[in-house]
Structure 1
């Protein structure tokens, strides 16, 4: 297993959300799609067209180049921006208004659509398969991840992007899906992989070079979702300065173990608060309690032009905002230590410190 940041984040997510390794098997005999429904050709064609445009874009090239270093939060925002961007606009419209493509409403009409990666490596809980961003017709969104233990997926460390069409809405995607059939267009290389749930067509992946073949048929796949919310975690655009949050240290905790996270904003504009980590928080305690959790290598890089404001949340307590400026660092690669010190009452005091470095000016 490649020990990438994404895989580390997924392992932490599995622990946080309480996911356990599923029991999967290979089915005997032919499967039965009771309804006989198929993905409408109009949706497949629209997905193929959107994928071709996206794969030809700089955003796709940047994604594939950055993949070995991407965090789960980075992957989330990149796929969210892509799926909700111009390349997939027509496809999303067809999802919400089937009459646009003259789609038969008696056919398979998905309630959710995803843009993800068909990863040719173990992602989580021993599963190899797919991970990506999913949004439903009610605009509820999250991340999905899953696959199979032996799914006819080629050996390797990465795959390419795919569009997923899901029968259910976000919140109801978890479960075992059985691989039904793979249809590969010899001329274009476009692959359509169909999956059943309760003997009904429930999921179809469409993509190019998915690295999935007939070995997936009659094989159990397990997919589950992580509802990440829609709080922004990535700052779009460019800025003059970049600052990296290096190491957080717990000096005096609020409780025995605190769950902490940041909100931050740039240039005095608090109309948009960015959050890190993307969900929940990082558990910390004092060194005398457990040295493993007394420091946190944060790693977040924040953009700003004139100032950067940080808001630290410790459990249910919010510390005072702190603001740093370019002059605070004394030049490129300069570092500062920012301290938070807050008395909850006459007896309890919360103390944390954070090392911050200016990495571009």
Structure 2
């Protein structure tokens, strides 16, 4: 009798447990969709400012895998250290179509003056930015913190979802924004984060990453001259203080391109090419080798930095503090990258010295 009672109790317990599990499963299935939508809505509240016309948001299939792979994807696209935090689709609840009207993407750059900067952008399905916002940052109050102000953030709205650049002298191209005065590092980090989000959009929703147009760096050293027409000028390597003159290219009837490596860069050797005309005027500048931090010393590779040298006399060049008034043969120092700026000038002045000693009048 006792054995039978124990068996009965066990069977009852098994049945009750099974029924409880079944009930919980039913409850889970009933509440799963509302819970997921509530989580989406909570995330969307942060992003609505960048997509004001959005009526509803939806989770994207395979989101977790897309986010996990974002760091590698962005590293290959040239945004090392950046990653995507979140992505949501913008949908139209009034239609049965599952095709997104657009997307909101949050991305982080590690290169802010105070550390990580996370931004969010909205992009329509046909590739137009609907808005931009800085979600989190640790930038200096009154300087880098201006990245959150409408005067800065509203510049992004309406731009194409293509690689963005910034200008310290006033945006002049469709893909440019004005830098924050006195906060070049912050501007660079914010731009990198925005470009990371754009690259993520292009890769997964926009038909693939936009190919980067390769430009022969030697063409920047002597514009409007085909690098293939430049002739190797016979010379032996010449060393100076912290630099080596590696090679010289002759531009027939026009001048020379002097290639110099500076050995005092922040992250190792830095090599430049300087074009000098027969009239003793600098024609162009190009950075050939640069291991500097992209948003700091790496700015020496930008067209804006290079343009400062064009038109100068081939006399010693110096630098002034970023934003200060410049006189003849002075360039604007790269903000936060004094060592890199000094290395560039070591190479440039080495090239100029070699030009005067070995090439001028030859």
Check whether TM > 0.5. no
- By percentage of residues, which structure has more helix? 2
- Of structures 1 and 2, the one with the larger relative CO (CA 8 A, separation 6+) is 1
- By percentage of residues, which structure has more strand? 1
The TM-score normalised by the length of structure 2 is 0.27
Bigger Rg, structure 1 or 2: 2
The TM-score normalised by the length of structure 1 is 0.28
